[in-house]
Structure 1
């Protein structure tokens, strides 16, 4: 995916989870921008951190810019919470993302399909008549090469995993797919200290046939693209970089 009209800026402040104050690099102008991620992202939003803004003015918008990426050390991290689903659907369709154990070849990829009380991100149908639900989660939290989800408690995520397990019992295949929105990562895991119930449900799901996979992305200020699969281990120890912030 390529974003239009990208400008570099410096992060100044985040008054609430929806907006941030930034200073454009080329002009020094202060602008209020929409943050395309309602997560905490405390380890990313340091004062003067370099950020990428997409300029998309419209009479229907309150802000002219979207904050889409943050530079952490020498690497860019995409924080757009809307992009993982689109990337995943496209990559499953073209074979960049492989769903392990999928029964048959992918014939169709449908977005936002309902099951029980949930609306899962993707329904895959195969040439053998099998169906698989894929719930996509973006991952932006990282420390020492380990990526983790979530960066804040998510009852919605816990509910999705619970109902993915129910879908297995109903004859579907079920997957949790983490789209890691940065490139340099050695492994992905669940932030157990943040939400132990989610880690336990993931582990229980894996024992019942739930597949949990992660793919990293190459990221620039204006682009993001799926790269390759990275190891996922729910038992991996993760130290929260925000524990002292």
Structure 2
């Protein structure tokens, strides 16, 4: 997935009101960026970090600049725009870059499903196999050298695990796919210390037949590329 044109850089002053961040560009210009990440962004938004942002050509946007990447003072690269995870995964699925999820003829996005009225990120179909439901989660939390999800209590994420478990129990394929968008993360663990219920539901979902995968992306101001598979711990 390419950033066209390539991103521009600035220095983070502060993030506030969840959706906004103030930065200073190399020439001293002060800008307010839109932040598409509603999570805690722990370790992703330290004042003084380098921010890489895109600019929309829309004339109706109040904040035309969007925060895409953080380059931390420790040298890590993080994609903080959670919308990019699905874009990256969709591109990888269409290109056959995730072997476990290849061989399907049809890909649909944002399909309604489940008793709790959810929308699955991707639904894969083929005549010779059962349908495959894929829920994508962006992983950016690094603590004590470990990658964790979620970074805050997520009732929505809990609902998705319950829905996926039902899909698997009904004989179709259900996949929880972690898109690892932090250069320092080498494995993924459910964040029991943050959301114990989510961790419990993930164990139950796996027992019901839900497949749990993790793919790490390489990150740069030019774009994101699915790089390799990572281990997901219990």
Question: Is this a same-fold pair by TM over 0.5?
Answer: yes
Unaligned runs of 5+ in 1: 235-245
1:14 aligns with 2:15: yes
Unaligned runs of 5+ in 2: none
Tell me how far 1:63 sits from its aligned partner: 1.0
1:228 match? 228
1:48 match? 48
Aligned partners of 1:219 and 1:70: how far apart in 2? 10
Distance 1:98 1:183, change over 3 A: farther
1:114 match? 112
Tell me how far 1:222 sits from its aligned partner: 3.4
Poorly superposed stretches of 4+, deviation over 4 Å = none
Tell me how far 1:127 sits from its aligned partner: 4.0
2:196 match? 196
Q: Is the 2:142–2:184 contact (alpha carbons within 8 Å) kept by the matching residues of 1?
A: no
> Higher mean Cα deviation, 196-205 or 83-92?
83-92
TM-score by length of 2: 0.93
Q: Report Cα offsets for 1:149-194 as digits up to 9, x if no partner.
A: 1111111110011011111122211000000012343211111111
> Higher mean Cα deviation, 144-153 or 171-180?
144-153
Tell me how far 1:75 sits from its aligned partner: 2.4
Tell me how far 1:126 sits from its aligned partner: 2.6
Aligned partners of 2:217 and 2:113: how far apart in 1? 29
> Higher mean Cα deviation, 215-224 or 121-130?
121-130
Aligned partners of 2:4 and 2:95: how far apart in 1? 24
1:207 match? 207
Tell me how far 1:57 sits from its aligned partner: 4.1
2:31 match? 31
Distance 1:57 1:31, change over 3 A: farther
> Higher mean Cα deviation, 142-151 or 159-168?
142-151
Tell me how far 1:42 sits from its aligned partner: 3.0
Q: Is the 1:112–1:122 contact (alpha carbons within 8 Å) kept by the matching residues of 2?
A: yes
Q: How is 1:85-100 mapped onto 2 (pairs within 5 angstroms)?
A: 85-99=86-100
Quote the RMSD (CA, aligned, Å).
Answer: 1.6
Q: Is the 2:42–2:141 contact (alpha carbons within 8 Å) kept by the matching residues of 1?
A: no
Q: Is the 1:57–1:63 contact (alpha carbons within 8 Å) kept by the matching residues of 2?
A: no
Q: Is the 2:146–2:186 contact (alpha carbons within 8 Å) kept by the matching residues of 1?
A: yes
Tell me how far 1:225 sits from its aligned partner: 1.1
